[in-house]
Structure formats: structure tokens, C-alpha cells
Amino acid sequence: MAGSSHGHTPAAWTGVIISFIGFCVAGVFMVAANPLGFWAGIAVILIGGVVGFAMKAAGLGMPKESAEMAAARARAGQAQTSS
């Protein structure tokens, strides 16, 4: 996996950071037995997903791989396993 750039985009980082904050908020309020705060944290988690998707749609995510690049990646993978 070190050779790939999976998730190394502004869209991915932003979505994950917002979702992480939501998990923290939900966790704190769950321990505090406060349902309203818990559901607010869950809402922040969902907002993180929406923001990440919107940023990807705006061009800040991974570009789609062309058919030629996918074929070259498959050939390289086969060459590595046959060695």
C-alpha cells in the first residue's frame, strides 16, 4: 500500500477529520448520558461524509484512473507476483 496514494487528498483528510471530531463529540456525550449531544455528534459524523463527498465532486479528491493506467497497473502487479 505504500506505493499508492489512497486517501491522500484534501477531500479525504477533511472528511475524516470532521468525522473524527463527530466521533469524539458523540463519545463524550454518550458517557455523559446526554442523548441530545450524542445525536449532535452523529450529525457531525454525517456532515463529515457530505463535506468529503462535496469536495471530491469539486475536484479535490482522487482523479479517476484511465483504462490505460488500470491495465498498466494490472500488468505491473502480475509481473511482481511472477518474479
pLDDT tens column, 6-54: 668 888 899 999 999 999 999 999 999 999 999 999 999 999 999 999 9
Q: Are 60 and 15 in contact (CB under 8 A)?
A: no
pTM confidence score: 0.71
